[in-house]
Amino acid sequence: MATTDQDKTPGNNGPRHVAIIMDGNGRWATMRGRPRLFGHHAGARRVREIVEACPDLGVKYLTIFAFSTENWKRTQVEVAGLMMLFRRYISKEAKALLAKGVRVRFIGDRVRLDDKLVALMDELELLTSHNDKVHLTIALNYGGRDEVARATKRLAQDVADGRLDPASVDEETLPKYLDTCVLPDPDLVIRTSGEARISNFLLWQSAYAEYEFIDTLWPDFTSEIFADLIEKFGARDRRFGAVKA
């Protein structure tokens, strides 16, 4: 579904779509002398509060980075623990998400994920597919470059099959093949934990996003901090390349 320019303009000056790189779980745990997975569990518990804060803040779309295509480089123990956490999170939160009017979607490559997890993801997407209060997108085994590569492969296949004329390809074409095809572009991207990089997150979609890099570690991120960042966004002058008259 293509979005219109109007869709991309947040009402009341707030961001309509916020994307969050939830970073710092490992350091949060290490600071407490605990294993990294302890931090991931604490981080997962934070998500509910932030999702629930969205309607009052005018945030219709929230996209969270849960696991990157590069995170497979971590130890087997951490990766397996994270995969188990994702399964547990989906099973545990499904009811509350449904009741709160949250529509859940997943982006990223499902091919490398285990079947049980993928089944839970499909189930949650289906279960919440009639909700419209908040659109929560969870990026799981997601990488921006991987997403563009997968999109390009499908686009090339359409050209090869005669469904797409190469001469017609413009910057509206590729987004239709991205995992995010039904979502507006993010207005605000937040990264916690003090790292000022985007680590392969929403590369195409964030071309004109505003960024906030904050020192707070993800397990310490509260709805008050979230609200402050939303308010700060309202004061930003988004020019999109133009000059104000």
Give Cα separations from 164 to 14, 61, 108 (angstroms): 37, 30, 24
Interface pick for ligand IPE out of 3, 13, 71, 173 (rule CB under 6 A)? 71
Nearer to Mg ion (CB atom), residue 81 or residue 184:
81
Q: How many CB atoms lie within 10 A of CB 244?
A: 5
Task: Find out whether 151 and 210 touch, Cβ atoms under 8 Å.
Answer: no
Question: Torsions phi, psi of 21, nearest 5?
Answer: -95, 100
Residue 27 binding partner per list Mg ion, ligand IPE, none, with a CB distance cut-off of 5 to 8 Å that depends on partner kind: ligand IPE
Interface pick for ligand IPE out of 26, 108, 143, 186 (rule CB under 6 A)? 26
Residue 3 binding partner per list ligand IPE, Mg ion, none, with a CB distance cut-off of 5 to 8 Å that depends on partner kind: none
Q: How many chain residues touch ligand IPE (CB under 6 A)?
A: 17
Decide if 12 is catalytic: no
Tell me the helices (H) and strands (E) count for the chain, helix number first: 7, 6
Alpha helix ranges (H) inside the chain: 5-8, 25-31, 36-57, 76-99, 115-127, 144-160, 223-234
Least distance from ligand IPE to the Cβ atom of residue 66, Å: 6
Interface pick for ligand IPE out of 15, 19, 47, 65 (rule CB under 6 A)? 65
Site string for ligand IPE, 76-95 (x = CB under 6 A): ------x-------------
Interface pick for ligand IPE out of 3, 173, 199, 223 (rule CB under 6 A)? 199
Read off the amino acid at residue 134: V
Residue nearest Mg ion, Cβ-based: 23
Interface pick for ligand IPE out of 67, 106, 177, 233 (rule CB under 6 A)? 67
Interface pick for ligand IPE out of 18, 21, 124, 230 (rule CB under 6 A)? 21
Residues near Mg ion (CB under 5 A): 23
Residue 199 binding partner per list ligand IPE, Mg ion, none, with a CB distance cut-off of 5 to 8 Å that depends on partner kind: ligand IPE
Q: How many CB atoms lie within 10 A of CB 195?
A: 13
d(CA 165, CA 181): 20
Half-sphere exposure of 88 (CA within 13 A, CB side): 10
Show Cβ contacts of residue 170 under 8 Å, excluding neighbours closer than 6 positions.
none
Decide if 23 is catalytic: yes
Residue nearest ligand IPE, Cβ-based: 26
Residues in the chain: 245
Residues found near ligand IPE in the complex (CB under 6 A): 21-27, 65-68, 71, 82, 193, 195, 197, 199
**Active-site positions?**
23, 71
